[in-house]
Structure 1
Amino acid sequence: MISKLHYISTEKKDKNHLQHIKEACEAGCRWIQLRAKEVTVEEYIALGIEAKKITDQFNAVLLINDQPKVAKAIGADGVHVGKEDISPAKAKEILGKGKIVGGTANTIEDIQRLYDFGVDYIGLGPFRFTQTKKKLSPILGLEGYQNLLDECKNRSIDTPIIAIGGIETTDVKSILSTGIYGIAISGLIANAVQPEKVVSELEVELAL
């Protein structure tokens, strides 16, 4: 079962990935993606091992961004691949059966390609500008989501689609009205004074 609430890790001056992941888990997130950029494979594995200790403690799903070999090495639940990363088919081959593979999309062509690959979920975005990603695809906004979700319906694409990119709690209801399955957040929790309150409010909106 794909969660309707995904947390994607980030790193800030005062807190590292692991501290943010622990906070997200303590707040109630049970689907965590470790997204560490500009690290070596060895560093990613070391980080992943520690992240998995945290997610195991909270019985949360752990995905690794971009690197299926890292996901396999640490026994993660799966991987999320970006548009310019390894193909979902290759990721599935590396990870083996029973592991989750998600992919990033920005256009209907991206969605169709990922659907044809048989990914477990699709991260669609960005909803609005976000500082947590350097190479940002064109902003979709509510209208973009609606158009893409309508086209998915026309094509009978039923893969769970997760909205991502600068999403605030007040956006959730309108985003869900487009037919989106769930949302992914990063800064919304990482910057929160009370992460548990944010997650609680999101759970109400998502009816988790």
Structure 2
Amino acid sequence: MMKEMYLQYISQGETPKEHLDNIEQVCKAGGKWIQLRIKDQDMATYLDTAIKCRNICDQYNAIMIINDNIGVAKAALADGVHLGLQDMDTREARKILGDNFIIGATANTLQDCKKHREDEVDYIGLGPYRHTTTKKKLSPVLGIKGYEEILSKFRIQNIKMPVVAIGGITEQDIIALMQTGISGIAVSGLLTNKENIKEKIKNIKEQIENKFSSK
């Protein structure tokens, strides 16, 4: 699972169909970790979209994560769920979903990260790196300095947990972010409706994997 976690795509689109079209484009270009993130839709629409997303991910052998909704995640046979700071408690989610589901959780502070470690989530989505328009009610922006401070405390306190950076990340940010000690990045706008997605994904993966291979 860890290798595929290096690069996560969080879906974007004006309609459920646009989300699915963008997901398929990313999968076709080599993306292997997809998070379906749909807001302001009824449960039936979310579930229908999730089932279609499951079919796309199966076709391209990609991991499928559902944002926020554990009911949809379970019904659509997703691989996991990602829970925000205001969503269901991760311990409660684990009881409902079981040990085989991937559970990721959003964090903005070292305290958030410690709680997630205690709750035994599978990975932390730490951010935002910078301001992003894809999310309402944005937590305080971390920047490189914020990641450095939190990850250095991870090392001092011997906290072992995959950390994925998120929030307005560009290709030019990746090398500096990887040097803070994160495990990977999550992007949305960087791969949505863009040309040369295959080349972008290849370049991003190379930058990330070069950092790990140089350790």
TM over 0.5: yes
Partner of 1:125: 127
Match of residue 53 from structure 1? 55
Q: Of 37, 40, 43, which residue of structure 1 is paired with 2:42?
A: 40
Question: Is 1:140 aligned to 2:142, yes or no?
Answer: yes
Deviation at 1:97, TM superposition (A): 2.2
Q: Does structure 1 retain, via aligned residues, the 8 Å contact 2:128–2:165?
A: yes
SS in 2 for 1:16: helix
Equivalent position to 1:86, from 85, 88, 94: 88
- Report what 1:113 is aligned to: 115
TM-score normalised by structure 2 residue count: 0.93
Q: CA deviation at 1:12?
A: 3.6
Give structure 2 stretches of 5+ with no counterpart. 211-215
Structure-2 separation of matches of 1:96 and 1:42 = 23
**1:169 equivalent in structure 2:** 171
Q: Which deviations, in whole Å up to 9, do the C-alpha atoms of 1:117-140 show, x marking residues without a partner? A: 000000000001111111110000
Counterpart of 2:185 in structure 1 is: 183
For 2:73, the equivalent position in structure 1 comes to 71
Q: Secondary structure at the match of 1:207?
A: helix
Q: 1:97 corresponds to which residue?
A: 99
Percent of aligned positions that are identical: 43
Q: Deviations over 1:67-91 (max 9, x none)?
A: 1111000110010000000011111
**Equivalent residue for 1:202, pick from 197, 201, 204:** 204
- Mapped to 1, the partners of 2:26 and 2:157 lie a distance apart of 35
Structure 2 counterpart of 1:87, one-letter code? D
TM-score normalised according to structure 1 size: 0.96
Cα drift, residue 42 of structure 1: 1.4
Taking the aligned partners of 1:147 and 1:112, their CA distance within structure 2 comes to 14
Query: How far is 1:41 from its partner?
Result: 1.5
Q: Partners of 1:143 and 1:97 in 2: how far apart?
A: 34
Q: For residues 32-83 of structure 1, what are the alpha-carbon distances to aligned partners after superposition, in whole Å with 9 as ceiling and x for unaligned? A: 0000111112111111000001000001000000011110001100100000
CA RMSD of aligned residues (A): 1.4
Aligned equivalents of 2:61, 2:146: Cα separation in 1: 35
Residues 22 and 193, structure 2, Cα contact 8 Å, conserved in 1: no
Count of paired positions: 208
Q: CA deviation at 1:200?
A: 1.1
**Residues of 2 paired with 1:65 and 1:90: CA distance?**
16
Further displaced range: 110-119 or 189-198: 189-198
| Structure 2 letter corresponding to 1:120 | D
Deviations 1:6-44 (Å, cap 9, x if unpaired)? Answer: 00001147x711001001101111000000111112111
**Conserved in 1, the CA contact under 8 Å of 2:127 and 2:141?**
yes
Report whether the alignment pairs 1:7 with 2:16. Answer: no
Distance 2:8 2:90 in 1: 19
